[in-house]
Structure 1
Amino acid sequence: MDLPPLVWDAHLAPLLSLSEVMSISTLNRSFHKLMHHAVTLYHPVDINAPVDELEAITDAWTNLKAITYKPFIRSDEPYNNESIYHLPHRQQATVDLSYCHAVSDISPLQHATAVFLNMCKSISQVHALANVHTVSLRNCSGIRDVSALGHVHTLILSGCKNVTDVRALTHVHTLHLSGLNIQDVSMLGDCVDLNLRKCHRVSDVSSLGRVKTLDLSGCTSLEHVSALRVVHTLNLSSCKRITDVSALLHVHHLTLSNCEALEHVNVLGSEGSSIQYLDVSNCRGITSISALGRIPVLNISRCHNITTLNGLSHVTNLDISFCRQLSDLSPLYSCQRITDVSALTHVQQLDLSYCHGIQDVGGLALVQYLSLRNCSQVEDVTDVSALGSVTKLNLSDCQNIRDVSMLHHVRSLDLRFCHAAVDVDDLRQRSSGIVYTQGYPSSS
């Protein structure tokens, strides 16, 4: 062991798995001392054991800093208060007692850094957790009063059906209250990350405009959202009463899926819009998206009344799955990442110009107009010739195409700058339509 401990601590130990650390520690006394005392181990460790076994492990490995204590996995009987009585003496940072239904007195956990007590049905008093950094009490039906938790950094109360007053949680950084029977959220405007999913009574969100990440999905009483104009990440999915989203131009990540009353979204693509991601999937009232071309990531899946993609040529990531009324995908030309078009079986007009990943178009059974201009991977057009519906085909600048003799049934065929193509004159004689070569049309 020639390297100094500081090098091991800063550069080598973080690269090792915990099993490798333990193996090295058994090589000799020097490595044992190094691995047990000289380096700090931030490897995540879940310990599923009674407290006495936890004590033995932490005594032997005092340098383990990311232990999560999960005793219930090894327990045949529900853990009671006595089973965690000695935890304060272990200075345990993270404790997960989720599903330990017999635990009711959680005072031994008051010095922990993070406590997970999800589905602990016997817990009713939580004041002992007032100074814990992260507290998760998901689906703890016995809890009513959370006024002592106003300075917890991250607090998960989702599914705590009997919590109705959250006014004291003003200073919580990350707060999850999904499914709660609450109405007044006016005091939560200083939260950074706020989840109010399926809080059906919440209707007034005028005080939440400073929240950075806000989830209001499924808030069925919500109608007016103009106050949320500068929220960074906003989820309004399944908010069935929302009709006006014109104020949300500066939301960076906006989810409006399943908003069934929503019809007009083109305003979100106005000049100056800050939206980088927009999801309007399953918004069946939307008929036009022509102004949304400035938004890089757009999801319009299951929007059955959208019939054209005009205006979307600059979208970089587009989800059009289950948009059954679309027949013309020509506005999407030059999408470099497209490689598989097998799902477009009902498309009638398709422009794949400059899509260099395209090789196989055999699945386009109903396509009538097809442009493969400058698709550098297209070499064999046998599968194209099998597309009986094609009447207009653009293969210009496809430098690797050679045999085009089987395309005589195409009424309008563009072979300009296909320098490797052979027997073009023979094709021109047999063709029933027009063959374009080197920029000049010639009809038979």
Structure 2
Amino acid sequence: MDLPPLVWDAHLAPLLSLSEVMSISTLNRSFHKLMHHAVTLYHPVNINAPVDELEAITDAWTNLKAITYKPFVRSDEPYNNESIYHLPHRQQATVDLSYCHAVSDISPLQHATAVFLNMCKSISQVHALANVHTVSLRNCSGIRDVSALGHVHTLILSGCKNVTDVRALTHVHTLHLSGLNIQDVSMLGDCVDLNLRKCHRVSDVSSLGRVKTLDLSGCTSLEHVSALRAVHTLNLSSCKRITDVSALLHVHHLTLSNCEALEHVNVLGREGSSIQYLDVSNCRGITSISALGRIPVLNISRCHNITTLDGLSHVTNLDISFCRQLSDLSPLYSCQRITDVSALTHVQHLDLSYCHGIQDVGGLALVQYLSLRNCSQVEDVTDVSALGSVTKLNLSDCQNIRDVSMLHHVRSLDLRFCHAAVDVDDLRQRSSGIVYTQGYPSSS
């Protein structure tokens, strides 16, 4: 306690948890005085209580500066405007009044750091929140004018169906507008993180090329995306009119799932591509992916017209679940046996769940995670045990597997509902990892 208060404030108090601070304060009077009067506590505090209890806490601990408050009302009366006026504003870092339908006047919240007012249907005026850092107004149907919120850092307006003009939100860093009936997004190009999911009228995104993270999933009017070549993370899933993605070579994380009109994606794998993650799942117009071998993470799940994995020798994370017509891994559900896994020799993460014709996976030399869930033809796992790199193996629902004794080196082994498996208890005793049986994990 002999150290200067400044040392406690800057270096020592942050090392203690809030429960430790309060516990020691009850035992030591000097420490109690130090923590109450000489130190500012920035520990996150979540308080779910009536306002009078919140006031009692803040009166006792005036130096708590990071309070997150969500009201708890011990009566049938709704939380209303009068309740807000009793909040001890100076210490409120975060106030969550979501689902408080009677609240309409939010002016007392103007000094908070973050305000959550989701589903507050009586709110119509939001100008008081102009200087709040984080504002969430999800599904507030009474709001129409958001022009005062142009300098909020993080703004969530998803589901505010009566907001139709967002041109004033030019300087918002993180902006979520999913489901809004908006068309003009030309002024939002300086946003860093922009969510326009299911904004069905949005068709012109030519001004959004500088956005870092952009979600346009479900924008059904969208057709031309060449201006988005510099976006880092781009979600275009369920954009049903998109046919040309050739300009998106330098998008690092690209999601194109459920793009019905998309047929040609090999252009995304050409030399110079920066794509690290590509999801084209359920794009049933795609027939060839032979040029995508340079992309480390690839999801082609439910692409039923892809018949070969030729060219994917350097993909390290591959999802081919429910690809019913693959020829070199056998068609799902009706294949007789694997004829060729040579194209997958470098794959590290592989999900073959419900591929009922698979029998032999011995060629997967580098696979680390392997799921053979419900692969009904898998009976002998000797070849799997020879895959020394496997650390996580899912064999659940493989009804014909009997001898699993050689799998003791696998760190995480799922044998749930493998009813024919024998000597599982012995395996569990010898295993260096976790063995799951019948849904209950045990560790030796």
TM superposition score normalised by structure 1 = 0.74
Q: Distance in 1 between matches of 2:255 and 2:40?
A: 42
Equivalent residues, number: 444
Distance verdict in 2 for CA 1:135–1:252, change over 3 Å? same
Task: Please say if residues 58 and 64 of structure 1, whose CA atoms lie closer than 8 Å, have aligned partners that are also in contact.
Answer: yes
Q: Distance in 2 between matches of 1:188 and 1:435?
A: 51
Offset of residue 152 of structure 1: 1.2
Distance verdict in 2 for CA 1:39–1:331, change over 3 Å? farther
Offset of residue 148 of structure 1: 1.1
Deviation string 1:395-430 (CA, Å, 9 cap, x unpaired) is 999999999999999999999999999999999999
Distance verdict in 2 for CA 1:32–1:228, change over 3 Å? same
Task: Please say if residues 340 and 360 of structure 1, whose CA atoms lie closer than 8 Å, have aligned partners that are also in contact.
Answer: no
Task: Please say if residues 241 and 259 of structure 1, whose CA atoms lie closer than 8 Å, have aligned partners that are also in contact.
Answer: yes
Q: Distance in 2 between matches of 1:12 and 1:424?
A: 51
Q: Which residue of 2 aligns with 1:233?
A: 233
TM superposition score normalised by structure 2 = 0.74
Offset of residue 224 of structure 1: 0.5
Task: Please say if residues 332 and 354 of structure 2, whose CA atoms lie closer than 8 Å, have aligned partners that are also in contact.
Answer: no
Offset of residue 121 of structure 1: 0.5
Distance verdict in 2 for CA 1:293–1:7, change over 3 Å? farther
Q: Distance in 2 between matches of 1:158 and 1:71?
A: 23
Task: Please say if residues 331 and 351 of structure 1, whose CA atoms lie closer than 8 Å, have aligned partners that are also in contact.
Answer: no
Task: Please say if residues 417 and 437 of structure 2, whose CA atoms lie closer than 8 Å, have aligned partners that are also in contact.
Answer: yes
SS of the residue 1:278 aligns to: strand
Task: Please say if residues 338 and 359 of structure 2, whose CA atoms lie closer than 8 Å, have aligned partners that are also in contact.
Answer: no
Q: Which runs of 5+ in 2 are unaligned?
A: none
SS of the residue 2:89 aligns to: helix
SS of the residue 1:188 aligns to: coil
Moved more, 91-100 or 361-370: 361-370
Offset of residue 314 of structure 1: 1.3
Deviation string 1:14-57 (CA, Å, 9 cap, x unpaired) is 45433232212212112223433444433322212233322221
Q: Distance in 1 between matches of 2:440 and 2:45?
A: 72
Q: Which residue of 1 aligns with 2:141?
A: 141
Offset of residue 91 of structure 1: 4.5
| Percentage identity across paired residues of the two chains | 99
Offset of residue 303 of structure 1: 1.2
Q: Distance in 2 between matches of 1:4 and 1:135?
A: 38
Deviation string 1:357-416 (CA, Å, 9 cap, x unpaired) is 999979999999999999999999867899999999999999999999999999999999
Moved more, 299-308 or 378-387: 378-387
Return the index of the structure with the highest Cα Rg: 1
Q: Which residue of 1 aligns with 2:22?
A: 22
Distance verdict in 2 for CA 1:90–1:323, change over 3 Å? same
Distance verdict in 2 for CA 1:39–1:224, change over 3 Å? same
Q: Distance in 2 between matches of 1:86 and 1:80?
A: 11
Offset of residue 131 of structure 1: 1.4
Distance verdict in 2 for CA 1:431–1:294, change over 3 Å? closer
Q: CA RMSD in A?
A: 12.1
Task: Please say if residues 259 and 283 of structure 1, whose CA atoms lie closer than 8 Å, have aligned partners that are also in contact.
Answer: yes
Q: Distance in 2 between matches of 1:103 and 1:239?
A: 38
Query: Does 2:202 match 1:190?
Result: no
Query: Does 2:4 match 1:10?
Result: no
Distance verdict in 2 for CA 1:330–1:38, change over 3 Å? farther
Q: Distance in 2 between matches of 1:256 and 1:244?
A: 11
Distance verdict in 2 for CA 1:153–1:383, change over 3 Å? closer
SS of the residue 1:34 aligns to: helix
Offset of residue 306 of structure 1: 1.4
Query: Does 2:29 match 1:55?
Result: no
Task: Please say if residues 50 and 83 of structure 1, whose CA atoms lie closer than 8 Å, have aligned partners that are also in contact.
Answer: no
Q: Which residue of 1 aligns with 2:93?
A: 93
